[in-house]
Amino acid sequence: MADTIDFFFDFSSPYGYLASVRLEPIASKHGREIVWRPYLMGAAMKVSGRGALVSHPLLNDYTRLDLDRCARRYEIPFTLPDPFPVQTVAACRAFYWTTDQGLNAGKRLAQQLLRAYFVDNRNISDPEVVVSVGADTGLDSQGLKTSLTDPVIKERLRHETDRAITLGVFGSPFIIVDGEPFWGNDRLDEVDHWLSTGGW
Amino acid sequence: MADTIDFFFDFSSPYGYLASVRLEPIASKHGREIVWRPYLMGAAMKVSGRGALVSHPLLNDYTRLDLDRCARRYEIPFTLPDPFPVQTVAACRAFYWTTDQGLNAGKRLAQQLLRAYFVDNRNISDPEVVVSVGADTGLDSQGLKTSLTDPVIKERLRHETDRAITLGVFGSPFIIVDGEPFWGNDRLDEVDHWLSTGGW
């Protein structure tokens, strides 16, 4: 089987959400599986010293316009949520607890959490919202709730975030294909071309 | 005649250089003229509070890799110069003095300055290098040299930079088509698509 594609993202990243929708058909076309790897981008930002686009004058207005334009172009339902950005610790922990029970269950939860935040404007920093979204995907609510404060899952998320930074990941989306890193929703065509050509 | 395309860039910006090469055929295809608008991106960075990509840990390594990869993909000769980045006051002043004598002369100078820096590794922060590149494009050396300290040209550059920031420009390349802003070399396909469709 062909190697997997590592898809790093932060649950609070709108470009990460847009890329999560667009990457699926690209991976399918090339017969590749995606490994979803949510992490705490804030930790990487502490290392890089680079903050969110919307936290800067001038960039804020442009970024909002660009996000809407990208969503329209690819016909992806999207509204910048309020509040934005939010803490994603609960969403990440829920993901890792779920994915340990099955990659597909983890992926389904991730997709629904992103959708809850970026389409339905539900505040996924709230553990109760995370549990509710999880229940809607068929997960055991009590088990999911307990996982959010489970020391093993806490440590798992810390490890995944540290590992991402060690690999050079700093943004969202950040995609690694056969060792080659691609940062940004605007690099998906490059990912597609890389998979088609084997690199250039 | 169709409206022009405003192409804002900083002479020290590698993505600006790559875009300067790629934008020409796109504009031609749509029967549009490009108005080259170099400015001092450092002034915009003071407003936005956002520094150069290569000034950050993690981003530095990735950006160097991405630049080389973009250049290879579009077969554009490119080497990240040393020193990098550099002051571009002299290059900008030379440009505005030249462009006042003819848009084409200005464009030719801009192209040759970018080429001198990003292909031949010549330090275009040095006024003598700027004058030498200008002479090679057929400009009057003495006139060009004098322009670099001319108060009128100094004010002209200040005005152009202020105007760019007022228009919301903060990066390089930054392209405005029919009032629509596009930031980044990675938005050239969007520019092309926008020109093809009239927007979406």
Cα→Cα distances B139→B13, B106, B109, B135, Å:
24, 10, 9, 5
Q: Does A194 score more than 80 pLDDT?
A: yes
Torsion of CA B129, B133, B135, B136, to 10 degrees: 140
Token pair of B55, please?
């000034």
B43 half-sphere exposure, CB direction, 13 A CA radius: 19
What pLDDT, on a 0 to 100 scale, did the predictor assign at position A1?
60
Are residues B181 and A56, on separate chains, in Cβ contact within 8 Å? no
Strand partners, A68: none
pLDDT digits (tens, 9 = 90+) for A65-87: 999 999 999 999 999 999 999 99
Measured over all CA atoms, what is the biggest interatomic distance in chain A, rounded to whole angstroms? 49
- Chain A residues within an 8 Å CB radius of B50: 50, 56, 59
Cβ proximity of A96 and A149 under 8 Å = no
pLDDT > 70 in chain A, percent: 100
d(CA A106, CA A99): 4
Helix, strand, coil fractions of chain A, as percent rounded to 5: 60, 10, 35
| Residue range B2-30: mean pLDDT, rounded | 97
Q: Kindly report the average pLDDT of chain A as a whole number.
A: 95
Q: Does B194 score more than 70 pLDDT?
A: yes
Q: Report which DSSP code applies to A119.
A: T
pLDDT digits (tens, 9 = 90+) for B30-86: 999 999 999 999 988 888 888 778 778 888 999 999 999 999 999 999 999 999 999
d(CA A81, CA A64): 11
Are residues B57 and A66, on separate chains, in Cβ contact within 8 Å? no
Residue of A54, A69, A75, A162 to mutate, interface with B, max B Cβ within 10 Å: A69
Provide the shortest C-alpha distance from residue B142 to chain A (in Å): 39
Are residues B183 and A47, on separate chains, in Cβ contact within 8 Å? no
pLDDT digits (tens, 9 = 90+) for A109-138: 999 999 999 999 999 999 999 999 999 999
pLDDT digits (tens, 9 = 90+) for A179-190: 999 999 999 999
What pLDDT, on a 0 to 100 scale, did the predictor assign at position B103?
84
pLDDT digits (tens, 9 = 90+) for A151-186: 999 999 999 999 999 999 999 999 999 999 999 999
**Contact residues for A177 (Cβ-Cβ < 8 A; gap 6+):** A5, A6, A32, A191, A194, A195
Are residues B50 and A66, on separate chains, in Cβ contact within 8 Å? no
Helix, strand, coil fractions of chain B, as percent rounded to 5: 60, 10, 35
The model's pTM is 0.95
Token pair of B141, please?
């050396």
